[in-house]
Structure 1
Protein backbone atom coordinates (compact mmCIF):
# COMPACT_ATOMS: atom_id res chain seq x y z
CA UNK A 1 0.00 0.00 0.00
CA UNK A 2 1.59 3.28 -1.15
CA UNK A 3 1.82 6.17 1.33
CA UNK A 4 0.39 9.31 -0.23
CA UNK A 5 0.82 12.82 1.19
CA UNK A 6 -2.35 14.76 1.55
CA UNK A 7 -2.06 18.45 0.63
CA UNK A 8 -4.33 20.66 2.67
CA UNK A 9 -5.36 24.02 1.21
CA UNK A 10 -6.30 26.96 3.44
CA UNK A 11 -9.92 27.38 4.07
CA UNK A 12 -11.17 30.28 1.93
CA UNK A 13 -13.39 31.40 4.72
CA UNK A 14 -10.48 31.65 7.12
CA UNK A 15 -8.36 33.48 4.54
CA UNK A 16 -11.01 36.07 3.89
CA UNK A 17 -11.47 36.58 7.60
CA UNK A 18 -7.73 37.21 8.00
CA UNK A 19 -7.68 39.75 5.19
CA UNK A 20 -10.69 41.50 6.61
CA UNK A 21 -9.05 41.59 10.02
CA UNK A 22 -5.89 43.16 8.57
CA UNK A 23 -7.94 45.74 6.71
CA UNK A 24 -9.88 46.55 9.84
CA UNK A 25 -6.70 46.94 11.85
CA UNK A 26 -5.29 49.21 9.16
CA UNK A 27 -8.43 51.32 9.17
CA UNK A 28 -8.36 51.55 12.95
CA UNK A 29 -4.71 52.60 12.87
CA UNK A 30 -5.45 55.13 10.19
CA UNK A 31 -8.40 56.51 12.11
CA UNK A 32 -6.31 56.71 15.24
CA UNK A 33 -3.56 58.53 13.36
CA UNK A 34 -6.02 60.94 11.74
CA UNK A 35 -7.70 61.64 15.07
CA UNK A 36 -4.69 63.57 16.40
CA UNK A 37 -2.80 66.61 15.21
CA UNK A 38 0.28 68.37 16.58
CA UNK A 39 0.65 72.15 16.41
CA UNK A 40 4.37 73.08 16.41
CA UNK A 41 5.90 75.82 18.56
CA UNK A 42 5.27 79.37 17.36
CA UNK A 43 2.15 78.35 15.42
CA UNK A 44 -1.61 78.21 15.84
CA UNK A 45 -3.98 75.77 14.19
CA UNK A 46 -6.95 76.82 12.08
CA UNK A 47 -9.59 74.09 12.13
CA UNK A 48 -11.49 73.36 8.92
CA UNK A 49 -14.58 71.20 9.18
CA UNK A 50 -15.62 70.00 5.75
CA UNK A 51 -13.87 73.10 4.40
CA UNK A 52 -15.54 75.60 6.75
CA UNK A 53 -13.35 77.65 9.12
CA UNK A 54 -14.22 76.96 12.73
CA UNK A 55 -14.19 79.59 15.50
CA UNK A 56 -11.81 77.59 17.70
CA UNK A 57 -8.07 78.16 17.25
CA UNK A 58 -5.72 75.39 18.39
CA UNK A 59 -2.71 76.27 20.54
CA UNK A 60 0.66 74.56 20.43
CA UNK A 61 0.73 70.85 21.27
CA UNK A 62 -1.33 67.69 20.66
CA UNK A 63 -5.05 67.93 19.84
CA UNK A 64 -7.87 65.50 19.07
CA UNK A 65 -9.88 66.09 15.88
CA UNK A 66 -12.58 64.27 13.92
CA UNK A 67 -10.81 62.25 11.21
CA UNK A 68 -11.71 62.85 7.55
CA UNK A 69 -14.09 65.61 8.63
CA UNK A 70 -11.77 68.08 10.29
CA UNK A 71 -8.37 69.24 9.01
CA UNK A 72 -5.96 71.67 10.63
CA UNK A 73 -3.90 74.42 8.90
CA UNK A 74 -0.90 75.51 11.02
CA UNK A 75 -0.10 79.25 10.77
CA UNK A 76 3.04 80.89 12.17
CA UNK A 77 2.48 83.58 14.81
CA UNK A 78 6.12 84.39 15.54
CA UNK A 79 7.67 87.72 14.53
CA UNK A 80 8.13 87.88 10.77
CA UNK A 81 10.34 90.25 8.81
CA UNK A 82 9.97 91.74 5.38
CA UNK A 83 12.38 94.16 3.70
CA UNK A 84 11.73 95.97 0.46
CA UNK A 85 12.47 99.05 -1.64
CA UNK A 86 9.46 101.32 -2.00
CA UNK A 87 9.14 104.21 -4.47
CA UNK A 88 7.27 107.34 -3.39
CA UNK A 89 7.31 111.11 -3.90
CA UNK A 90 8.07 114.00 -1.59
CA UNK A 91 6.05 117.19 -1.17
CA UNK A 92 8.36 118.97 -3.61
CA UNK A 93 7.81 116.15 -6.15
CA UNK A 94 11.19 114.47 -5.74
CA UNK A 95 11.21 110.73 -6.47
CA UNK A 96 12.41 108.73 -3.47
CA UNK A 97 13.40 105.08 -3.20
CA UNK A 98 13.09 104.00 0.43
CA UNK A 99 14.64 100.85 1.87
CA UNK A 100 12.43 99.78 4.76
CA UNK A 101 12.45 96.73 7.04
CA UNK A 102 9.24 95.79 8.88
CA UNK A 103 8.78 93.36 11.78
CA UNK A 104 5.24 92.17 12.43
CA UNK A 105 3.31 89.21 13.79
CA UNK A 106 -0.16 87.75 13.43
CA UNK A 107 -2.72 88.04 16.20
CA UNK A 108 -2.66 84.50 17.58
CA UNK A 109 -6.31 84.66 18.66
CA UNK A 110 -7.64 85.65 15.25
CA UNK A 111 -5.58 83.68 12.75
CA UNK A 112 -8.76 81.88 11.71
CA UNK A 113 -10.31 85.18 10.61
CA UNK A 114 -7.16 86.12 8.71
CA UNK A 115 -7.13 82.72 6.99
CA UNK A 116 -10.79 83.00 6.11
CA UNK A 117 -10.55 86.54 4.69
CA UNK A 118 -7.07 86.60 3.22
CA UNK A 119 -5.48 83.15 3.19
CA UNK A 120 -1.82 82.28 3.53
CA UNK A 121 -0.70 84.83 0.93
CA UNK A 122 -1.10 87.73 3.40
CA UNK A 123 2.50 88.99 2.92
CA UNK A 124 1.95 89.79 -0.76
CA UNK A 125 -1.75 90.62 -0.48
CA UNK A 126 -1.73 92.79 2.65
CA UNK A 127 1.69 93.56 4.15
CA UNK A 128 3.67 94.73 1.11
CA UNK A 129 0.90 96.97 -0.29
CA UNK A 130 0.27 98.44 3.16
CA UNK A 131 3.96 99.36 3.51
CA UNK A 132 3.94 101.13 0.15
CA UNK A 133 0.72 103.04 0.93
CA UNK A 134 1.97 104.14 4.37
CA UNK A 135 5.24 105.44 2.94
CA UNK A 136 3.54 107.33 0.14
CA UNK A 137 1.09 108.92 2.57
CA UNK A 138 3.85 110.13 4.90
CA UNK A 139 6.59 111.17 2.46
CA UNK A 140 4.08 113.36 0.60
CA UNK A 141 3.93 115.56 3.74
CA UNK A 142 7.66 116.42 3.70
CA UNK A 143 10.13 117.93 1.29
CA UNK A 144 13.10 115.85 0.21
CA UNK A 145 15.44 117.74 2.54
CA UNK A 146 13.05 117.33 5.47
CA UNK A 147 12.94 113.58 4.90
CA UNK A 148 16.68 113.55 5.54
CA UNK A 149 16.76 115.93 8.49
CA UNK A 150 13.59 114.58 10.16
CA UNK A 151 14.07 110.86 9.59
CA UNK A 152 13.05 109.83 13.11
CA UNK A 153 9.83 111.85 12.85
CA UNK A 154 9.07 110.36 9.43
CA UNK A 155 9.74 106.85 10.74
CA UNK A 156 7.36 107.37 13.67
CA UNK A 157 4.56 108.55 11.37
CA UNK A 158 5.07 105.65 8.95
CA UNK A 159 4.89 103.24 11.88
CA UNK A 160 1.64 104.81 13.09
CA UNK A 161 -0.03 104.67 9.67
CA UNK A 162 1.19 101.15 8.91
CA UNK A 163 0.10 99.80 12.31
CA UNK A 164 -3.43 101.06 11.67
CA UNK A 165 -3.55 99.39 8.25
CA UNK A 166 -2.28 96.02 9.52
CA UNK A 167 -4.56 95.95 12.55
CA UNK A 168 -7.58 95.79 10.23
CA UNK A 169 -6.38 92.31 9.21
CA UNK A 170 -5.48 91.17 12.75
CA UNK A 171 -1.76 91.82 12.42
CA UNK A 172 0.40 93.55 15.02
CA UNK A 173 3.26 95.80 13.94
CA UNK A 174 6.39 95.45 16.08
CA UNK A 175 8.95 97.78 14.54
CA UNK A 176 10.03 99.45 11.33
CA UNK A 177 13.48 100.62 10.25
CA UNK A 178 14.04 103.02 7.39
CA UNK A 179 17.61 102.20 6.43
CA UNK A 180 18.03 104.53 3.45
CA UNK A 181 16.48 107.29 1.36
CA UNK A 182 17.70 107.35 -2.23
CA UNK A 183 17.20 110.39 -4.46
CA UNK A 184 17.93 111.18 -8.09
CA UNK A 185 21.46 112.12 -9.18
CA UNK A 186 20.34 115.68 -10.01
CA UNK A 187 18.91 116.15 -6.55
CA UNK A 188 22.04 114.74 -4.90
CA UNK A 189 24.20 117.20 -6.88
CA UNK A 190 21.91 120.07 -5.93
CA UNK A 191 22.15 119.12 -2.25
CA UNK A 192 25.93 118.91 -2.46
CA UNK A 193 26.18 122.33 -4.14
CA UNK A 194 23.87 123.84 -1.55
CA UNK A 195 25.95 122.44 1.28
CA UNK A 196 29.12 123.85 -0.29
CA UNK A 197 27.47 127.27 -0.69
CA UNK A 198 26.25 127.20 2.92
CA UNK A 199 29.72 126.33 4.15
CA UNK A 200 31.27 129.15 2.12
CA UNK A 201 28.65 131.60 3.38
CA UNK A 202 29.30 130.52 6.94
CA UNK A 203 33.06 130.95 6.46
CA UNK A 204 32.54 134.44 5.02
CA UNK A 205 30.29 135.37 7.92
CA UNK A 206 32.84 134.14 10.44
CA UNK A 207 35.60 136.08 8.66
CA UNK A 208 33.53 139.28 8.77
CA UNK A 209 32.81 138.78 12.44
CA UNK A 210 36.50 138.19 13.11
CA UNK A 211 37.51 141.36 11.22
CA UNK A 212 34.85 143.35 13.06
CA UNK A 213 36.07 142.09 16.42
CA UNK A 214 39.71 142.85 15.57
CA UNK A 215 38.75 146.38 14.45
CA UNK A 216 36.81 146.96 17.65
CA UNK A 217 39.79 145.74 19.64
CA UNK A 218 42.10 148.17 17.82
CA UNK A 219 39.70 151.06 18.41
CA UNK A 220 39.46 150.12 22.08
CA UNK A 221 43.27 150.03 22.41
CA UNK A 222 43.65 153.39 20.64
CA UNK A 223 40.99 154.94 22.85
CA UNK A 224 42.71 153.58 25.93
CA UNK A 225 46.07 154.99 24.85
CA UNK A 226 44.55 158.40 24.05
CA UNK A 227 42.83 158.48 27.39
CA UNK A 228 46.07 157.57 29.13
CA UNK A 229 47.91 160.44 27.38
CA UNK A 230 45.15 162.86 28.25
CA UNK A 231 45.31 161.91 31.90
CA UNK A 232 49.08 162.24 31.89
CA UNK A 233 48.86 165.76 30.39
CA UNK A 234 46.35 166.78 33.02
CA UNK A 235 48.70 165.64 35.77
CA UNK A 236 51.77 167.52 34.46
CA UNK A 237 52.16 170.80 36.53
CA UNK A 238 55.02 173.27 37.17
CA UNK A 239 55.53 171.77 40.61
CA UNK A 240 55.82 168.30 39.06
CA UNK A 241 58.41 169.58 36.56
CA UNK A 242 60.52 171.14 39.36
CA UNK A 243 60.23 167.91 41.34
CA UNK A 244 61.47 165.92 38.39
CA UNK A 245 64.46 168.33 37.97
CA UNK A 246 65.35 167.99 41.64
CA UNK A 247 65.13 164.20 41.38
CA UNK A 248 67.43 164.29 38.35
CA UNK A 249 70.00 166.45 40.20
CA UNK A 250 69.90 164.12 43.18
CA UNK A 251 70.56 161.14 40.93
CA UNK A 252 73.48 163.02 39.33
CA UNK A 253 75.01 163.82 42.77
CA UNK A 254 74.65 160.19 43.80
CA UNK A 255 76.58 159.17 40.71
CA UNK A 256 79.38 161.83 41.23
CA UNK A 257 82.79 160.34 42.11
CA UNK A 258 83.97 163.41 44.09
CA UNK A 259 86.25 164.84 41.36
CA UNK A 260 85.61 168.25 39.94
CA UNK A 261 85.60 168.45 36.20
CA UNK A 262 88.54 170.19 34.50
CA UNK A 263 86.18 172.50 32.68
CA UNK A 264 82.87 173.66 33.91
CA UNK A 265 80.26 175.35 31.92
CA UNK A 266 76.94 176.89 32.41
CA UNK A 267 75.99 180.40 33.24
CA UNK A 268 79.57 181.27 34.30
CA UNK A 269 82.52 181.47 31.89
CA UNK A 270 84.65 178.35 31.45
CA UNK A 271 87.39 178.24 34.05
CA UNK A 272 90.49 176.14 33.76
CA UNK A 273 90.56 174.37 37.04
CA UNK A 274 94.25 173.39 36.68
CA UNK A 275 95.33 177.04 36.41
CA UNK A 276 93.37 177.89 39.51
CA UNK A 277 95.12 175.18 41.40
CA UNK A 278 98.59 176.36 40.27
CA UNK A 279 98.01 179.93 41.40
Structure 2
Protein backbone atom coordinates (compact mmCIF):
# COMPACT_ATOMS: atom_id res chain seq x y z
CA UNK A 1 0.00 0.00 0.00
CA UNK A 2 2.83 2.43 0.78
CA UNK A 3 4.52 1.75 -2.56
CA UNK A 4 1.32 2.53 -4.37
CA UNK A 5 0.97 5.84 -2.53
CA UNK A 6 4.53 6.90 -3.48
CA UNK A 7 3.88 5.99 -7.09
CA UNK A 8 0.78 8.10 -7.13
CA UNK A 9 2.64 11.13 -5.72
CA UNK A 10 5.52 11.12 -8.30
CA UNK A 11 3.54 12.64 -11.19
CA UNK A 12 2.59 15.51 -8.98
CA UNK A 13 6.24 16.14 -8.07
CA UNK A 14 7.25 16.33 -11.81
CA UNK A 15 5.27 19.52 -12.50
CA UNK A 16 7.34 21.85 -10.23
CA UNK A 17 10.55 20.53 -11.79
CA UNK A 18 9.30 21.44 -15.28
CA UNK A 19 8.42 24.92 -14.17
CA UNK A 20 11.82 25.40 -12.60
CA UNK A 21 13.51 24.16 -15.79
CA UNK A 22 11.54 26.64 -17.89
CA UNK A 23 12.37 29.48 -15.54
CA UNK A 24 16.07 28.59 -15.57
CA UNK A 25 16.02 28.39 -19.37
CA UNK A 26 14.35 31.80 -19.59
CA UNK A 27 16.90 33.30 -17.21
CA UNK A 28 19.78 31.82 -19.21
CA UNK A 29 18.26 33.09 -22.46
CA UNK A 30 17.74 36.53 -20.97
CA UNK A 31 21.34 36.61 -19.73
CA UNK A 32 22.60 35.57 -23.18
CA UNK A 33 20.44 38.25 -24.77
CA UNK A 34 21.75 40.84 -22.34
CA UNK A 35 25.34 39.82 -23.00
CA UNK A 36 25.10 40.54 -26.72
CA UNK A 37 24.95 43.96 -28.39
CA UNK A 38 24.89 44.96 -32.06
CA UNK A 39 26.41 48.23 -33.27
CA UNK A 40 24.66 49.49 -36.38
CA UNK A 41 26.45 50.81 -39.49
CA UNK A 42 27.76 54.35 -39.12
CA UNK A 43 27.95 54.11 -35.33
CA UNK A 44 30.42 53.30 -32.59
CA UNK A 45 29.67 51.91 -29.13
CA UNK A 46 30.81 53.60 -25.93
CA UNK A 47 31.16 51.02 -23.16
CA UNK A 48 30.12 51.98 -19.63
CA UNK A 49 31.00 49.64 -16.75
CA UNK A 50 29.02 50.50 -13.66
CA UNK A 51 28.78 54.05 -15.06
CA UNK A 52 32.51 54.44 -15.82
CA UNK A 53 33.60 55.01 -19.41
CA UNK A 54 35.87 52.22 -20.61
CA UNK A 55 38.87 52.63 -22.93
CA UNK A 56 37.58 50.20 -25.57
CA UNK A 57 35.19 51.35 -28.30
CA UNK A 58 32.91 48.89 -30.10
CA UNK A 59 32.99 49.03 -33.90
CA UNK A 60 30.09 48.06 -36.16
CA UNK A 61 28.83 44.50 -35.70
CA UNK A 62 28.18 41.98 -32.92
CA UNK A 63 29.86 42.35 -29.50
CA UNK A 64 29.62 40.72 -26.07
CA UNK A 65 29.25 42.59 -22.79
CA UNK A 66 28.82 41.73 -19.13
CA UNK A 67 25.09 41.73 -18.37
CA UNK A 68 23.93 44.29 -15.79
CA UNK A 69 27.54 45.44 -15.40
CA UNK A 70 28.28 46.96 -18.78
CA UNK A 71 26.11 49.31 -20.86
CA UNK A 72 26.80 50.28 -24.48
CA UNK A 73 25.91 53.77 -25.75
CA UNK A 74 25.75 53.99 -29.58
CA UNK A 75 27.12 57.21 -31.12
CA UNK A 76 26.77 58.16 -34.79
CA UNK A 77 30.03 58.80 -36.66
CA UNK A 78 28.50 59.60 -40.06
CA UNK A 79 28.71 63.11 -41.52
CA UNK A 80 26.29 65.47 -39.82
CA UNK A 81 25.17 68.92 -40.89
CA UNK A 82 24.80 71.98 -38.71
CA UNK A 83 23.32 75.11 -40.28
CA UNK A 84 23.11 78.31 -38.29
CA UNK A 85 22.88 82.08 -38.64
CA UNK A 86 25.32 84.12 -36.56
CA UNK A 87 25.60 87.88 -36.06
CA UNK A 88 29.03 89.49 -35.83
CA UNK A 89 30.79 92.78 -36.60
CA UNK A 90 33.18 93.62 -39.42
CA UNK A 91 36.40 95.58 -39.05
CA UNK A 92 34.57 98.79 -40.00
CA UNK A 93 31.93 98.00 -37.34
CA UNK A 94 29.20 96.96 -39.74
CA UNK A 95 26.74 94.38 -38.40
CA UNK A 96 26.97 91.15 -40.40
CA UNK A 97 24.47 88.30 -40.25
CA UNK A 98 26.14 85.19 -41.65
CA UNK A 99 24.33 82.01 -42.64
CA UNK A 100 26.73 79.08 -42.62
CA UNK A 101 26.41 75.32 -43.12
CA UNK A 102 28.98 73.03 -41.49
CA UNK A 103 29.54 69.34 -42.24
CA UNK A 104 31.35 67.38 -39.53
CA UNK A 105 31.65 63.90 -38.04
CA UNK A 106 32.88 62.35 -34.81
CA UNK A 107 36.31 60.76 -34.54
CA UNK A 108 35.31 57.11 -34.27
CA UNK A 109 38.37 56.15 -32.23
CA UNK A 110 37.68 58.76 -29.56
CA UNK A 111 33.90 58.81 -29.14
CA UNK A 112 34.38 57.48 -25.61
CA UNK A 113 36.42 60.56 -24.69
CA UNK A 114 33.84 62.86 -26.27
CA UNK A 115 31.07 61.13 -24.32
CA UNK A 116 33.08 61.38 -21.11
CA UNK A 117 34.03 65.05 -21.51
CA UNK A 118 30.96 66.47 -23.26
CA UNK A 119 28.15 63.94 -23.48
CA UNK A 120 25.59 63.39 -26.19
CA UNK A 121 24.61 67.05 -26.50
CA UNK A 122 27.90 67.97 -28.22
CA UNK A 123 26.20 69.88 -31.06
CA UNK A 124 24.70 72.51 -28.74
CA UNK A 125 27.65 72.55 -26.34
CA UNK A 126 30.56 72.48 -28.78
CA UNK A 127 29.70 72.78 -32.47
CA UNK A 128 27.35 75.78 -32.47
CA UNK A 129 29.46 77.91 -30.08
CA UNK A 130 32.62 77.06 -32.04
CA UNK A 131 30.97 78.19 -35.30
CA UNK A 132 29.89 81.49 -33.74
CA UNK A 133 33.34 82.11 -32.25
CA UNK A 134 35.15 81.31 -35.51
CA UNK A 135 32.90 83.62 -37.52
CA UNK A 136 33.35 86.50 -35.10
CA UNK A 137 37.13 86.07 -35.04
CA UNK A 138 37.44 86.06 -38.84
CA UNK A 139 34.85 88.69 -39.84
CA UNK A 140 36.48 91.15 -37.45
CA UNK A 141 39.58 91.04 -39.69
CA UNK A 142 37.75 92.31 -42.80
CA UNK A 143 35.67 95.32 -43.76
CA UNK A 144 32.11 94.75 -44.91
CA UNK A 145 33.08 95.23 -48.56
CA UNK A 146 36.01 92.84 -48.22
CA UNK A 147 33.70 90.16 -46.82
CA UNK A 148 31.86 90.32 -50.14
CA UNK A 149 34.82 90.65 -52.49
CA UNK A 150 37.05 88.14 -50.63
CA UNK A 151 34.42 85.58 -49.77
CA UNK A 152 36.54 82.52 -50.67
CA UNK A 153 39.42 83.80 -48.53
CA UNK A 154 37.08 84.45 -45.59
CA UNK A 155 35.59 80.97 -45.95
CA UNK A 156 39.06 79.38 -45.92
CA UNK A 157 40.03 81.22 -42.73
CA UNK A 158 36.77 80.33 -40.97
CA UNK A 159 37.35 76.68 -41.90
CA UNK A 160 40.89 76.77 -40.53
CA UNK A 161 39.87 78.32 -37.20
CA UNK A 162 36.81 76.10 -36.78
CA UNK A 163 38.74 72.94 -37.63
CA UNK A 164 41.19 73.61 -34.82
CA UNK A 165 38.44 74.31 -32.29
CA UNK A 166 36.45 71.16 -33.09
CA UNK A 167 39.51 68.91 -33.19
CA UNK A 168 40.17 69.53 -29.49
CA UNK A 169 36.84 67.80 -28.78
CA UNK A 170 37.41 64.86 -31.17
CA UNK A 171 35.12 66.29 -33.87
CA UNK A 172 36.40 66.28 -37.46
CA UNK A 173 35.44 69.19 -39.72
CA UNK A 174 34.63 68.10 -43.29
CA UNK A 175 33.50 71.25 -45.07
CA UNK A 176 31.83 74.62 -44.56
CA UNK A 177 29.69 76.70 -46.86
CA UNK A 178 28.99 80.38 -46.20
CA UNK A 179 25.59 80.77 -47.80
CA UNK A 180 25.01 84.49 -47.23
CA UNK A 181 26.41 87.69 -45.77
CA UNK A 182 23.55 90.01 -44.84
CA UNK A 183 24.12 93.64 -43.86
CA UNK A 184 21.92 96.49 -42.67
CA UNK A 185 19.59 98.24 -45.13
CA UNK A 186 21.62 101.46 -44.83
CA UNK A 187 24.79 99.65 -45.81
CA UNK A 188 23.08 97.93 -48.74
CA UNK A 189 21.87 101.31 -50.01
CA UNK A 190 25.35 102.77 -49.63
CA UNK A 191 26.86 99.88 -51.58
CA UNK A 192 24.27 100.27 -54.31
CA UNK A 193 24.92 104.03 -54.56
CA UNK A 194 28.66 103.40 -54.72
CA UNK A 195 28.24 100.87 -57.51
CA UNK A 196 26.09 103.32 -59.49
CA UNK A 197 28.69 106.06 -59.02
CA UNK A 198 31.49 103.70 -60.09
CA UNK A 199 29.55 102.70 -63.19
CA UNK A 200 28.93 106.33 -64.10
CA UNK A 201 32.59 107.19 -63.52
CA UNK A 202 33.62 104.26 -65.69
CA UNK A 203 31.24 105.36 -68.46
CA UNK A 204 32.62 108.91 -68.33
CA UNK A 205 36.16 107.57 -68.47
CA UNK A 206 35.34 105.43 -71.47
CA UNK A 207 33.68 108.38 -73.20
CA UNK A 208 36.76 110.54 -72.61
CA UNK A 209 39.02 107.83 -73.93
CA UNK A 210 36.82 107.43 -77.01
CA UNK A 211 36.86 111.18 -77.68
CA UNK A 212 40.61 111.26 -77.18
CA UNK A 213 41.10 108.39 -79.61
CA UNK A 214 38.83 109.99 -82.21
CA UNK A 215 40.72 113.27 -81.87
CA UNK A 216 44.04 111.52 -82.25
CA UNK A 217 42.71 109.75 -85.33
CA UNK A 218 41.63 113.07 -86.88
CA UNK A 219 45.00 114.65 -86.09
CA UNK A 220 46.80 111.69 -87.59
CA UNK A 221 44.62 111.86 -90.72
CA UNK A 222 45.19 115.62 -91.13
CA UNK A 223 48.91 115.17 -90.62
CA UNK A 224 48.96 112.44 -93.25
CA UNK A 225 47.08 114.64 -95.72
CA UNK A 226 49.41 117.58 -95.04
CA UNK A 227 52.41 115.36 -95.50
CA UNK A 228 51.01 114.04 -98.77
CA UNK A 229 50.46 117.59 -100.05
CA UNK A 230 53.93 118.58 -98.98
CA UNK A 231 55.46 115.67 -100.83
CA UNK A 232 53.41 116.41 -103.92
CA UNK A 233 54.53 120.06 -103.84
CA UNK A 234 58.15 119.01 -103.56
CA UNK A 235 57.78 116.75 -106.59
CA UNK A 236 56.24 119.46 -108.87
CA UNK A 237 58.97 120.74 -111.26
CA UNK A 238 58.88 122.67 -114.60
CA UNK A 239 59.73 119.47 -116.44
CA UNK A 240 56.82 117.67 -114.72
CA UNK A 241 54.44 120.48 -115.66
CA UNK A 242 55.63 120.36 -119.32
CA UNK A 243 55.21 116.57 -119.30
CA UNK A 244 51.66 116.84 -117.96
CA UNK A 245 50.83 119.41 -120.72
CA UNK A 246 52.19 117.11 -123.41
CA UNK A 247 50.20 114.21 -121.97
CA UNK A 248 47.07 116.38 -122.01
CA UNK A 249 47.63 117.37 -125.66
CA UNK A 250 48.19 113.76 -126.67
CA UNK A 251 45.01 112.75 -124.91
CA UNK A 252 43.12 115.53 -126.73
CA UNK A 253 44.48 114.39 -130.11
CA UNK A 254 43.52 110.84 -129.33
CA UNK A 255 39.96 111.88 -128.60
CA UNK A 256 39.64 114.30 -131.67
CA UNK A 257 37.04 113.20 -134.17
CA UNK A 258 38.59 115.00 -137.18
CA UNK A 259 36.29 118.05 -137.17
CA UNK A 260 37.53 121.53 -136.54
CA UNK A 261 35.60 123.67 -134.08
CA UNK A 262 33.87 126.75 -135.40
CA UNK A 263 35.32 128.96 -132.71
CA UNK A 264 38.28 128.40 -130.50
CA UNK A 265 40.17 130.59 -128.15
CA UNK A 266 43.80 131.00 -127.36
CA UNK A 267 46.74 132.81 -128.92
CA UNK A 268 45.94 131.54 -132.47
CA UNK A 269 42.15 131.48 -132.84
CA UNK A 270 40.50 129.59 -135.64
CA UNK A 271 38.29 131.44 -138.14
CA UNK A 272 35.03 130.26 -139.49
CA UNK A 273 35.68 127.77 -142.27
CA UNK A 274 32.97 127.04 -144.69
CA UNK A 275 33.45 123.72 -146.43
CA UNK A 276 32.08 124.08 -149.96
Q: TM-score, length-normalised on structure 2? A: 0.91
Find the counterpart in structure 1 of residue 52 from structure 2. 52
Distance in 2 between residues matched to 1:165 and 1:59, nearest whole Å: 26
Q: How does 1:74-223 map to 2 (within 5 A)?
A: 74-223=74-223
Structure 2 CA distance for aligned equivalents of residues 34 and 265 of structure 1 = 140
Q: Deviations over 1:29-80 (max 9, x none)?
A: 2211111111111111111110000001111111111111111101111111
Q: Contact 2:134–2:162 at 8 Å: present in 1 too?
A: yes
Residue-pair matches, total? 269
8 Å CA contact 1:42, 1:77 repeated in 2: yes
Q: CA deviation at 1:24?
A: 2.4
1:42 alignment partner in structure 2: 42
Matches within 5 A, 1:13-28: 16-28=16-28
Output the aligned Cα RMSD.
2.0
Question: In 2 relative to 1, CA 227–12 (structure 1 residues): closer, same or farther, beyond 3 Å?
Answer: same
CA separation of 1:248 and 1:35: change in aligned 2, threshold 3 A: same
1:132–1:250 distance in 2 versus 1, CA, 3 Å: same
- Any idea what SS the aligned residue of 1:110 has? helix
CA positional deviation for 1:25: 2.5
Q: What residue in structure 1 maps to residue 231 of structure 2?
A: 231
Structure 1 stretches lacking a partner, 5+ long: 1-7
Q: Which moved more, 1:258-267 or 1:76-85?
A: 258-267
Q: Secondary structure at the match of 1:109?
A: helix
Q: Residue 100 of structure 1 contacts residue 176 of structure 1 at CA under 8 Å; is this kept in 2?
A: yes
Kept in 2: contact 1:263–1:273 (CA 8 A): no
Pair 1:29–1:267, CA change in 2 (3 A): closer
Of 247-256 and 118-127, more deviation after overlay is shown by 247-256
Query: Structure 1, residues 89-147: CA drift from partner, whole Å, max 9, x if none?
Result: 11111111111111111111110000000000000000010011011111111111111
- In the TM superposition, what is the alpha-carbon distance from 1:26 to its structure 2 partner? 2.5
**3-state SS of paired residue (2:67):** coil
Q: Secondary structure at the match of 1:231?
A: helix
Q: Is this contact kept in 1: 2:263–2:269, CA < 8 A? A: no
TM-score, length-scaled by structure 1? 0.90
